[in-house]
Structure 1
Amino acid sequence: MAAKPIASPIPVALYPTLSVFTLAIGLVITAIFFIYEATSSRKNRSLGKELATSAVASVFLGFGSLFLLLASGVYV
């Protein structure tokens, strides 16, 4: 049985597009997080909302950074 070469499930041509979109979404969610922190008082803040917003922003920024590295030729 011959081994199959490892291939990406996402076409390489889509890396730059995915990088731009995921980084843009991550930055928008990060901005929403900062606006929420700056405009809400300490009594009205919700830990669950803060954690959820920061987790979603982190995932999008992480994948955006990954695709940016892959699009620029740094294979991680």
Structure 2
Amino acid sequence: MAQSAKPISSPVPIAYYPSLAVLLLAVGLVITASFFIYEATSSRKNRSLAKELVTGAVASVFLGFGSLFLLLASGVYV
């Protein structure tokens, strides 16, 4: 009747969690730094809302996944 249940496993090997955390957090921090540099060096007339939103969203995604893998690498399973 019922087939034997297959355990849930991560699509990413556990050994890659620390490397992914460092890589994603580093990329997210670089994009965040470029966002702050853009805000500090451009005048109010030359700023683009679309560029600010895209840069903020991309940085947020990288920092979010980097934080997730950092938590997973340290043993906090979320």
Tell me the TM-score normalised to structure 2 length: 0.97
Q: Work out whether 1:42 is the aligned partner of 2:44.
A: yes
How many residues align? The count is: 76
Q: Work out whether 1:24 is the aligned partner of 2:7.
A: no
What is the deviation of 1:38?
0.2
What is the deviation of 1:5?
0.3
Aligned-pair Cα RMSD in Å: 0.3
Q: Mind listing any 5+ residue stretches in structure 1 that lack a counterpart?
A: none
Tell me the TM-score normalised to structure 1 length: 0.99
Q: Mind listing any 5+ residue stretches in structure 2 that lack a counterpart?
A: none
**Structure exhibiting the larger radius of gyration computed from Cα positions:** 2
What is the deviation of 1:2?
1.1
Runs in 1 of length 4+ with deviation above 4 angstroms?
none
What is the deviation of 1:8?
0.2
Q: Which residue in the other structure is 2:67 paired with? A: 65
Alpha-carbon displacement from aligned partner over 1:4-30 (angstroms, at most 9, x marks no partner): 100000000000000000000000000
What is the deviation of 1:3?
1.0
